[in-house]
């Protein structure tokens, strides 16, 4: 039976170059039997691909995104980042809202949650990093999409301050923007210290 193409909701982030770059890194990284979490699933296409290989749970704050991902067969929870989830997860995936956005540039709709990264573009990434030790398995991996607009080196330093190591595993330059995927793991030396 042909799977029905999802109907896009105007308030849900449509897959873009960043989505597809992250998706290809996920396909290289995922292992059979992984317990996977996708934070901010949007349309659900990444979580759906993961579900073919592993047990996958996804979250989003946007109710329209949750409905759409659920329609794609994704197990989805409406929550802030990973609040209320226990873990530990072997693989955590996040394409965060990363555009630097000033207070007076904000638009009051659900799509804003897909784009608005606060003043420096790293506000949501910072929140994401600060609770990560609780839910990431000691040998777990995170795949995080970041843009040059967000600050690639600054993001690496942010994770280092929280006790994580990050390496770029894939990248793409689009018009005026460099997109990278970070593979992030616990810095086991800093955990021991």
Ligand X SMILES: C[S@@+](CC[C@H](N)C(=O)[O-])C[C@H]1O[C@@H](n2cnc3c(N)ncnc32)[C@H](O)[C@@H]1O
Footprint of ligand X (CB under 6 A): 13, 15, 19, 22, 39-43, 46, 59-62, 65, 80-81, 95, 97, 113-114, 124
Q: How far is the CB of 111 from ligand X (least distance, A)?
A: 8
Structural contact between residues 119 and 102, judged by C-beta atoms closer than 8 angstroms? yes
Closest approach, Cβ 72 to ligand X, in A, equals 12
- Least distance from ligand X to the Cβ atom of residue 147, Å: 10
- Roughly what angle, to the nearest 10 degrees, separates helices 123-130 and 152-161? 30
Q: Is the Cβ of residue 90 or residue 146 nearer to ligand X in the bound state?
A: 146
Q: Which residues pair with 173 in a beta bridge?
A: 178
Instruction: Supply 125's token pair.
Output: 């990434």
Taking the complex as a whole, how short is the minimal distance between the CB of residue 192 and ligand X, in angstroms?
31
Output the smallest distance, CB 69 to ligand X, in A.
Answer: 9
C-alpha to C-alpha distance for 63 and 78, rounded to whole angstroms: 7
> Is the Cβ of residue 84 or residue 138 nearer to ligand X in the bound state?
84
Cα–Cα dist 91/35, whole Å = 6
Residue with smallest beta-carbon separation from ligand X? 40
Backbone angle region of 157, left / alpha / beta, with phi > 0 → left and psi within -120 to 50 → alpha:
alpha
C-alpha torsion sign, points 64, 65, 70, 73: positive
Say if residue 40 is preceded by a cis peptide, omega within 30 of 0: no
> Which CB atom, from 46 or from 186, has the smaller least distance to ligand X?
46
- Could you tell me the smallest distance in angstroms from the CB atom of residue 1 to ligand X? 26
* DSSP states of 98-123: -B---GGG--SSTTHHHHB--TTS-H
Task: Give whichever of 115 and 160 is closer to ligand X, judged by the CB atom.
Answer: 115
| Closer of 68 and 140 to ligand X (Cβ) | 68
22 vs 146 by CB, closer to ligand X = 22
């Amino acid at each position: 039976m042909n799977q029905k193409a999802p109907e896009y909701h105007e308030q849900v982030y449509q897959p873009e170059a960043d989505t597809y770059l992250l998706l290809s890194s996920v396909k290289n990284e995922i292992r059979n039997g992984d317990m996977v979490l996708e934070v901010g699933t949007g349309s659900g296409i990444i979580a759906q691909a993961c579900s073919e290989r592993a047990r996958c749970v996804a979250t989003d704050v946007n109710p329209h995104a949750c409905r759409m991902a659920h329609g794609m067969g994704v197990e989805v929870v409406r929550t802030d980042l990973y609040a209320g989830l226990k873990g530990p997860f072997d693989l955590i995936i996040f394409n965060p809202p990363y555009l630097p956005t000033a207070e007076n540039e904000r638009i009051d709709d659900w799509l804003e949650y897909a784009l608005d990264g606060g003043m420096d573009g790293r506000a949501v990434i910072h929140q994401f990093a600060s609770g990560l030790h609780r839910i990431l398995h000691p040998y777990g991996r995170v795949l995080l999409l970041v843009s040059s607009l967000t600050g690639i080196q600054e993001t690496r330093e942010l994770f280092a301050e929280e006790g994580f190591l990050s390496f770029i595993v894939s990248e793409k330059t689009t018009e005026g923007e460099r997109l990278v995927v970070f593979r992030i793991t616990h810095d086991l030396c800093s955990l021991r210290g």
